[in-house]
Chain A
Amino acid sequence: MSWGVIASKEFEDAVRSRLLWGVVAFVTVMVSVTFLVPLIVPALDTGVLSALGGASEFASLLVPIVSLVAAYLAIAGERESGSLRLLLGLEPSRWAVVVGKFLGRSAVVVVGLATGFVLAGVVAWAIYGSVPLAAFAGVVALTAALGVSFVGIAIGISAATATRARAMTIGIGVYLALSLLWDLVPQGAYLAAFGEAPAQTVPSWFVFLQGASPSGAYSALVMNVIHAVEPSYPTATAGIGGPVPFFVEWWSFAAILVVWTIVPVLVGGYVFGRADLN
């Protein structure tokens, strides 16, 4: 059960180092601001659901940063400083370390994101007079899942790298690829297939590719959640002309998010398990 001991120490460390409060403050401010945007820009729809959708769009770019920052040093930092030598002297199982770190840092991110969103929800309630609780709760849960997914990615990177600098380099690269630049993948594939930019109606594989990154899957799931509350809100598959195949159903995107969480941890843990630590 030492993974539990490691996880709880990770969480206590985050409280002690004020990392947790940093996450809460950052998320509260950023999400509150996005709730305000529809009010500031008159041309936009001013409904609270649109604001929630907007906040989630922003969160899909913001949350990966929060998670990566919160977890990229978890193992590589200890390895570079040498505290890992003490830790592994007490608990030699590298998997216990990886799992403990993943769970502990996930708890930090989940608590930080949820608290930040709830505080931002209070701001939204003050502005709009009401908050659709079901949709809001769904978006918070999905945001937490996205956060955990990127903690998994960050832990995988941290486990597989020997130094802080390399962990950071790979972390930034992964963020650019999976969050900022991912849209170029379906766009590029479309261009390659049809020789032109995507039109109003897109093929289902285009929607699947859009949602194949953690942030993409998250955005698709958020649209489905808001759509479930307010049917006039478009689903992720609204652009598909004709029948909707299974691989762009909501559970497909949920599976993508789970895969992005677990596979990096497994790969990182495998590399870490075979590494010479000196």
Chain B
Amino acid sequence: MTAIETDGLTKRYGHDVYAVDDLSLTVEEGEVFGFLGPNGSGKSTTIDVLMDYVRPTTGTARVLGYDAQEDAEAIHQRVGILPDGYHLYDRLSGRKHVEYAIRLKDTDDDPDEILQRVGLTSEAAARAAGTYSKGMSQRLALGMALVGDPDLLILDEPSSGLDPDGIRDIRELTLEHAANGGTVFFSSHILSQVEAVCDRVGILNQGRLVAVDSIDGLRDAVGAGTTITVTVDTPPTDLSLGDVDGVTGATVDGSQIAVTCTEPAAKLVVLDRIRATDSRILDFDTQRSSLEDLFSAYTHPPAAESVTEGRR
């Protein structure tokens, strides 16, 4: 069965502001799916539709086989949500928050067990939530999401405000949930966090889904290879690399020449070509393309990128 399925999902504000634009996405049950995109790319709006906080302009969304708008009640019984932009009840203690969630969902969870799972001590849980740090709030909200042992966990920017310990805890809870057969929909603008836990990733940019694949698949899809950066004494005037096999791109920025190679052997050829010019090589460095480059390749169109390059 599919955990999440959207079909042509569109949310428009006003006449021409598309928060989500024709999004068709399928997340299978048991998957840890990374929902990646820069801030404002429409991730939260998509989740808002799944949770029936907002209604789509057109298109449909189904969660665990139920229509997100028609069967919200059935969905919420089976889904735990850590929403973005939430606020705790300042006067209510952490423990009372979890108890409230248990009563609202009408489950028989043990509040202490939940608090322990998310790493809140009983002293912390006895305090009013208004005194909590961002990290503690995030742990508490995550605990509320775990109430009722949901089939699907939707985490919207779960790591925001967390220290490295907290980020590791979130990762472990996510993997634990998946190991028990649960599905996790993990939304983030930080690639490394998605990369660490997710089976598959969908990249959203300006409301549109620009890529869906496994991390490895994405790597291949972009043709990521190695970038060789060469520092020379004077910019070369007669350098041509277009005919070299395995070179996919080259930029010259003053005395820096950056060449992207997909074939390892191409690197030496590139160095030879530069030495053949009247420029002298002062230094060179090679760097594997990271997923971070890949992410920015998807979310910053080439047209925008060229502005940051060269001609100073």
Binding site for B on A (CB under 8 A): 1-2, 5-6, 9, 13, 16-17, 81-83, 85-93, 274, 276-278
Contact = CB atoms under 8 A, between A and B. Distances in A.
A82 B87 CA distance: 5
A276 B104 contact: no
A244 to B, nearest CB: 50
22 contacts: A2-B104, A2-B106, A5-B103, A5-B104, A16-B92, A17-B91, A81-B87, A85-B86, A86-B83, A86-B88, A88-B52, A89-B80, A89-B144, A90-B100, A90-B105, A91-B76, A91-B105, A93-B72, A276-B48, A276-B53, A276-B54, A278-B54
Contacts of B52: 88, 92
B75 to A, nearest CB: 7
A1 B73 CA distance: 12
Nearest to B141: A86
A83 B83 CA distance: 10
B51 A90 contact: no
Contacts of B106: 1-2
A9 B83 contact: no
Contacts of B141: 86
Contact of B144 (A6, A16, A90, A92): A90
B91 A278 contact: no
A278 B17 CA distance: 15
Contacts of B83: 82, 85-86, 89
B226 interface: no
B91 A89 contact: no
Nearest to A17: B91
Contacts of A85: 53, 83, 85-87
Interface string B165-208: 00000000000000000000000000000000000000000000
B75 A92 contact: yes
A83 B85 contact: no
Nearest to A100: B104
A83 B54 contact: no
A82 B124 CA distance: 22
B86 A90 contact: no
